Structure 1
Amino acid sequence: MDQNTNKTVLILGANSDVAKQCIKQYLAKGFSIIAASRNTNSLENFIKEKHLDQSKITVLYFDAADFDSHQKFYNELPIKPHIAVYAAGFLIDNEKALRDFKGTQQMMITNYMGAVSILNIIAMDESNKNLERIIGLSSLSGVRGRKSNFVYGSTKAAFTTYLAGLRQELASKNIKVNALVIGYIRTKINEGLQLNESLIMEPDYVAKHIVNAGNSFTIVPNFKWKIIYLILKMLPEILVAELP
């Protein structure tokens, strides 16, 4: 009998390309899934098109921006999760973000504020003895501030810092927290951007690193991105300023 048969994963922002691959891979490992998103129709269509086991998937409406609804959403979950994955994300071009605060605000809300709101609720539920792990999808854009994407990057930097502190907060309860620090992925959010093809990862590849997350806090899929991550961390500020 699969050890994960009686375990449940809550995926927040489950309509993203990476999250959909996570659904498939967690199912293959025996988990039940609560897939939560604003676009429930798209999720339901995906589940039918891929012939996934509908008896093991619950689709729920979740809006990261509607903070007031988060406690009610959590209270009404059919089962409290063993694993929670925050995969919601929003991105606009940096030039637009500098001139359009509404777009910037949406990035702040989706990438950081909404995450903190719902993950605090999940993490602080003393009655949920199931919880084993919280995983957040962050970005290499948040490692250092760079001219091309520092507005978006700042929201991801904040999220990574939050997850690092949450890991320390939950360590005594033996609840693991992971931050996926991700580079370019072939997804809807990156459509139309001029990206280095040799660095683009497929959603199923990234999902594999989420589903198989271990003890390390920072998980950087792909050895090329690991090198870039380490270089970014170590570069003097004067050289970071020369980056695009």
Structure 2
Amino acid sequence: MALRLFEEVYNSIRRDMMRGKLKPGDKLPSERDLAEQLGVGRPVVREALRALENSGVLEFRKGASGGAFIRRGDGRAVSRTVNDLVFLGTLSLDQLAETRSCLLDQAVRLACKRGTNADFAALEANIERMRVAIKAEDVETSIFEIMDFYSLLGTAAKNDVLTVMIGSLSEIIAQILLALRPEHLTDLVTMRLEVLDEIKSGDADAASAAMAAHMEVLHNYVVEKSDNLHALNLQPFDTKA
């Protein structure tokens, strides 16, 4: 099937990225210059640039030195795709939770081998912030800290791919928790301290078992309370990125 003009422009820019001609932070030529270079109209270029922005490749900056810039990569585009597929019914929440548990199992096992004292201190500080936020009944901050724990695990595991994938699968869990506003978040503090203690001891099997028990409680709650996702009136989770 023939590509539409804007898709050809979209793919042309992505090819330049794949070949190293465009790198994070690079500014693209103006719409007019791109249109002349590629032999298309400016509306076609504009549509392609907006599609690249929506996919997380570009960001637009305002001002005299503004324009379209290649973004430094993050997992937000993956998060949006996963969330959309869940809400469209292509992926089940149950399977998402199962996959997330598998990734977190690998994260804690790698953290046992690769984690540093600085990583452990960051995880401890995160758990303390979560405890304080829960005590203050600040649900939004509590849930942000709950989700940030997983990113810090990825850092301790020294695996950026795991960090991105876990974060992408965690966003919908955060949305659901924000909507449900569970009353027993304090249990998570105790469970996470147990996971961290096992990671610090370097016992991968014990850390894996502690994380599995933690995830079973959380995922069972989320899946049980989310039979009809569309009825929860969910809002996108602010990752404060």
Larger helix fraction of residues: 2
TM-score, reference length from structure 1: 0.23
- Higher CA-based Rg: 2
Larger strand fraction of residues: 1
TM-score, reference length from structure 2: 0.23
